[in-house]
Amino acid sequence: MIVCENVSFAYEKDRPALRAVSFGIGVGEAVGLIGANGAGKSTLMKALLGLVIPEGEVRVDGLRVEKRTLPEVRRKLGFVLQNSDNQMFMPTVYEDMLFGPLNYGLSREEAEARADEALRRLGLEALKRRHNHRLSGGEKRMAAIATILAMAPEAILMDEPTSALDPYNRRLVINIIRDLPQTRLIASHDLDMILDTCQRVILIAEGRIVADGPAKVILRDKALLEANRLELPLSLGGRG
C-alpha cells in the first residue's frame, strides 16, 4: 500500500532530515513509527503526503507521489493531525465530516451516508450535532478520526493520536485505532499505545531506519530503545 525507496530529504544543505529510507507497508497493516524528537518522523509523514518532495521514490497504492499526482494520492491517504483544532474547522462535527466528501464531488446524500456510517462504526452518533468548540479533547480527537473515515481513505496516517488525552479518552482512542480496517502508519512517543495497536514498528534515528520488525520484539529491546533516546513502554517495565 505504501512504499518508500531510498527516500532522502534535507531542509537545509548538509542537514539531511531523511537518509535513504526504504520500507513497505502492506494493505491493512498497522505500523508504528517511533523515534526521538528530531529523528525524522514528521518529515517522513510529509513526504508520504507530498508536502515535501524528496529524492528517491514514494508510492501509495502503486501511484508515485509527485506534484501532478497529489490530488489522487490525497484521496487515498487520510491524515489525523496531532492538534485536532487544526483539523476541525467547521461549526459542528457533522459539517466537518461532510466537508471533504462534498469537495470530492459526492452528492449531499452520498456524503451524509458516508458520515453516518463513520459515526455508526465508531459508536460516535452522539457527537453528530455537537459544536466543535464544546467538545472535550478526547471527543475532538475521536471526531477528527471520524472525519477522516468519512472521506473513505485506503490508508490513514496519524501523528501522536493519544497526546494530551486523559486515561479514559486515551483508551477510547486506542480501541478505535485498533479496530480500523485501513492501513495505518502511526507516529508516536506513546510506546504503550503503539504496542496496543501495531503489529510492526519502524524505529528511525537521525533520518535513518535503525530497526524494522515485530512490535513485541523491538519494544522489548531495552538496549536498542535507550541507544536511540527512548525507553521501554511502561507496561514492559519502563520508567513512569
**Per-residue tens of pLDDT for the chain, all 240 residues:** 999 999 999 998 888 999 999 999 999 999 999 999 999 999 999 999 999 999 999 999 999 999 999 999 989 999 998 877 778 889 999 999 999 999 889 999 999 999 999 999 888 899 999 999 899 888 888 899 899 999 999 999 999 999 888 898 899 889 989 989 999 999 999 999 999 999 999 999 999 999 999 999 999 999 999 999 999 998 887 665
pTM value is 0.91
DSSP assignment of 162-198? TTT--HHHHHHHHHHHHH--SEEEEE-S-HHHHHHH-
Residue 151: what pLDDT?
A: 92
Return the CATH number of the domain spanning residue range 2-85+156-236: 3.40.50.300
How far apart, in whole angstroms, are the C-alpha atoms of residue 231 and residue 229?
Answer: 7
**C-alpha cell at position 187:** 507516529
Domain spans in the chain, listed from the N-terminal domain onward: 2-85+156-236
Residue 172: what pLDDT?
A: 87
In 27-156, alpha helices (H) = 41-49, 70-76, 93-103, 108-122, 137-149
**Rg of the chain over all Cα atoms, to the nearest angstrom:** 18
Residue 122: what pLDDT?
A: 85
Residue 56: what pLDDT?
A: 96
